Amino acid sequence: GRMGDGGGSMTSLATLLRRAERAREKAEAADDASRMARYDLNTEARRVAWAALEKRGIKRGDRIGFACPKRARWHDRAPQLDALEAYRGRDHDGNWCWRVRLRLTAINAKGKQLKSPLSEYFDLAHPRDVAREIVKVAA
């Protein structure tokens, strides 16, 4: 081939450009679809987790304790459950799982809410399993 013709490929620049642009549009559409699907998935996982907690009488704003003694020791006073997130993630071994993150408010000895928020993460087989991990505590 002549010098600089990239090894003699006969596809025109305009054709290659069109092909690249079509591929980019497809990728962007797939990205959007993936983002929307993930959003719907996480929304439903969060709803399932709250529903499981409500069955145990736990609502947003309740004081909670932890089934696991290690976690319970880490909170000297029962924190308040403010919110939760649920999404797909990987556990320590790299296996896919549901991650549920609890957003908590710490309460001091006088019963005052502390400013710095706390988080607790759980790696679960199903978002509803978070209900086994926490218990309601009388304020």
- Give the model's pLDDT for residue 110: 87
Instruction: Summarize pLDDT for 30-67 with one digit per residue, the tens.
Output: 999 999 999 999 999 999 999 999 999 999 999 999 99
Of residues 108 and 1, more confidence is placed in 108
CA 82 to chain centre: 16
Question: pLDDT digit string (tens) for 101-119?
Answer: 999 999 888 888 888 889 9
Averaged pLDDT score across all residues of the chain = 92
